[in-house]
């Protein structure tokens, strides 16, 4: 995915230009969650940028983490209806690859890859529920 990584790197903003610095999800099984996100995010050109026994961080190769999963024992509750996290994709093909990789890695379909005209004329996205129940999306929103 070198072309995809290059394209994603070009849209990377300076911290002062971004609303969010990073986000993390609490997970009950770090190995399972890491396998899922390695596959799903890997299809978009993102990689593990660090890992330890209790967490894994993901981002662009050579960069810092923008998304992390953290082991949280005990009661586990994901955010309710209305919450989801959308990952930037560099193409419609990458969105489709994300969907397929996420399903193969244990995700649940929550919306097949396709245009979402209610969100805009070029909004191409796929929706997945991860193994912990979080709602995630891959989106490419540009003319082709």
Span 36-79, pLDDT tens digits:
999 999 999 999 999 999 999 999 999 999 999 999 987 778 89
**Mean pLDDT in the chain?**
91
How many domains in the chain?
1
CATH of the domain at 10: 3.10.180.10
CB 46 within 8 A of CB 59: yes
**What confidence category does residue 11 fall into, taking pLDDT thresholds of 50, 70 and 90?**
low
Global pTM?
Answer: 0.90
Residue 15's pLDDT is 52
E strand intervals along the chain: 23-27, 47-52, 55-59, 67-71, 85-88, 108-115, 123-129, 135-141
Residue 131: count of CB within 10 angstroms of its CB: 19
Give the three-state DSSP class for 120: coil
Domain that holds residue 12: 2-141
């Amino acid at each position: 995915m070198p072309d995809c990584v290059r394209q994603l790197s070009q849209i990377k903003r300076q911290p002062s230009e971004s609303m969010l610095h990073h986000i993390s999800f609490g997970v009950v099984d770090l190995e399972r969650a890491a396998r899922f996100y390695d596959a799903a995010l890997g299809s978009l050109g993102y990689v593990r940028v660090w890992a330890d026994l209790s967490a894994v961080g993901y981002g662009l190769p050579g960069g810092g983490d923008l998304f992390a999963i953290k082991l949280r024992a005990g009661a586990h509750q994901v955010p309710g209806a209305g919450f989801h996290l959308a990952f930037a994709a560099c193409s419609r093909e990458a969105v489709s690859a994300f969907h397929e990789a996420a399903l193969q890695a244990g995700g649940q379909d929550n919306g097949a890859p396709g245009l979402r005209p209610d969100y805009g004329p070029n909004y191409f996205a796929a929706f997945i529920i991860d193994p912990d129940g979080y709602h995630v999306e891959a989106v490419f929103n540009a003319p082709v």
